[in-house]
Amino acid sequence: MLVKKRTSRPFAGPEKNPILAPRVPAWRSTLVMAVMGLAFGVLAARAVWVQIVAHDFHVAQGQKRYRRTVELDAMRGPIVDRHGALLAVSLTTYEIWAEPRRIERSAHVALARALALPVPELERRLATERTFVLLERHVDMQTANSIARLGLAGVTHVAASKRFYPEAESVAHVIGFTDIDDDGQEGIELAANALLGGQAGARDVIRDRLGRIVSELAPPVPACNGQTVRLTIDRRIQQLAFAQLQAALARHGAQAGSAIVLDARNGEILALANAPSFDPNQQASRKGHALRNRALTDTFEPGSTIKPLAVALALDAGLVKPTTLVETAPGHYTIGPNTIHDTSNHGTITIAEAVAKSSNVAMAKLALNLPAERIWSKYREYGIGQAPQLPFPGLAAGSMRPWQRWRPIEQATMAYGYGLSMSLLQIAEAYTAFAGDGTLRRASLVIDDQDATSDSSFDRQQARPAPRVTAPETAAAIREMLEAAAAPGGTAEGARIEGYRVGGKTGTAWKHVGTGYEKGKYRSLFVGLAPIDAPRIVVAVMIDEPEGRTYYGGKVAAPVFASIAGGTLQLLGIPPDV
């Protein structure tokens, strides 16, 4: 048998072995390693950027996902009258919120019944793609608790507050109101908004993905509730003034009216009423002319109520005495193309009688014997043309033309209240000069209970000190004239108060409409002091557009003064002086 002899072959290296020979070019592996090295470099650079360069940004972004600052609402401060009676207060209420996706349809009826809503209305509010929806604001605690007892998934309540005004219409123009976010919009609510609003607190917390608070990162900063604002208003006198004003408007069919009661000793406003008014608790009533605070924002020609100022000026100048005679016959007086009329022919009368009988002719002659510049400057001292110093929005300054442009007829009319304009508050403030030693008492509305060094007080308007605008003996003489006006035979017999001696001045002014006066439309005015020997109060009344033939201030406004002043004197405990 032949055996084939196997011949051995020498071993070939891997570089020559076709099986072990590399199939991928070497440059590819080099490329892969380079790419991997570059990737690691990019990751390292990114890590440096995130951890070092942009560290604060990324930390903040992360905290946004779990860290929250929860605002703690401050309770709005109350507004009270001079005796502490509440005029505005914040009540605790609740907001009802819902997650529409979690509320089962079977729960709609029970929830609607608890909220006193029709079921279709509730379903309309829930028909939204939003995660959370507000179902109802200002829900009381009883309603909130009844909803909580239902145990409905997706329904929760959040504590809130609602502003409430116990005196409603009577003091609405003084207090004003807040909006839905509890920010002041009118009146003292607006003027003292920063003081009343307080300062919100904060909690820095961590929340989980469901929004639940799991921990606090720092002690909470408590909210600082708003401060109490105490007004000079006396709630009882305010109610009295508002009620008498409403009765007068109904009695005379008038369009509107205002009344102000000042403390004659210091100018504090004891009452400031306007009619028509509105209920600040009802948002629907906050509209139209009812919002106008006519006593402060409306200006008009003061008519004969300005006459005591002109007479005081002439007395101080030594031009006349109360007993000086002046000829008013035949009841009218012509200046150029213009003629001034009295209501009747008073003949020859004294200056004191001219005030009591309200003679326009006598006042015109008096004014023409005084320098125009002196009249203008003295009227400015009384506050005409300058806004009262009150922390209140929309105060009117009134107007008076520069004396250099006065014609003789204008100088004459300045003495009986035409050619200039004032607000009712300015008229009342001017009469405080006649209630004492001739010093004008600036009207005030807020009693400053704050520390004198505190920056929180907003009633620090003492730039213009109270000036002495007339001599003490002149003020006493004017009081005697005002008392004669309210005595039998004067123009204001309707201002008399049983048991008290009073004095005052009537005014009946044509209404200025557009560029002229509208026939048949008047403002009836009366400003008075009581008791006349030592006046404690100044009361000013304005009735706008009384209907019928009875439109004189003595017939329309003077009786309102008597009702308000008489009640006020009794409330203040002033004993009768007759």
Q: What is the DSSP letter of 88?
A: E
Convert 488-552 into a string of H (helix), E (strand) and C (coil): CCCCCHHHCECCECCEEEEEEEEEEECCEEEEEEEEEEEEEEECCCCCCEEEEEEEECCCCCCCC
Contact 225, 258 (CB under 8 A): no
Q: Say whether the peptide bond before residue 531 is cis (omega within 30 degrees of 0).
A: yes
What are the CA-CA distances from residue 265 to residues 78, 382, 438 (Å)? 27, 16, 11
Report pLDDT for 452.
43
Q: Which domains does the chain have, with CATH numbers?
A: 70-101+108-231 (3.90.1310.10), 235-450+458-571 (3.40.710.10)
Q: In the annotation, is 524 catalytic?
A: no
Q: Which of 358, 400, 407, 406 is nearest to 381 (CA)?
A: 400
As a whole number of Å, the CA-based R_g of the chain is: 40
Largest CA distance in the chain: 181
pTM recorded for the entire structure? 0.81
pLDDT in tens, the chain (578 residues): 445 555 555 555 555 666 656 666 777 778 888 888 888 888 888 888 778 877 777 666 666 666 666 666 778 999 999 999 999 998 888 888 888 877 777 778 888 888 888 888 888 888 877 777 888 877 888 888 888 888 777 787 777 788 999 999 999 999 999 988 888 999 999 999 999 988 877 767 666 655 556 666 667 777 788 899 999 999 999 999 999 999 999 999 999 999 999 999 999 999 999 999 999 998 888 887 889 999 999 999 999 999 999 999 999 999 999 999 999 999 999 998 999 999 899 999 999 999 999 999 999 999 999 999 999 999 999 999 999 988 888 899 999 999 999 999 999 999 999 999 999 999 999 999 999 999 999 999 999 866 444 444 555 544 467 789 999 999 999 999 999 999 988 888 999 999 999 999 999 988 877 677 778 889 999 999 999 999 999 999 999 999 988 889 999 999 999 999 999 999 999 999 87
Report pLDDT for 176.
93
Alpha helix segments (H runs only) across 273-359: 294-297, 307-316, 351-357
Report pLDDT for 532.
95
Q: How far apart are CA 523 and CA 510, in angstroms?
A: 6
Catalytic residue among 90, 170, 285, 304: 304
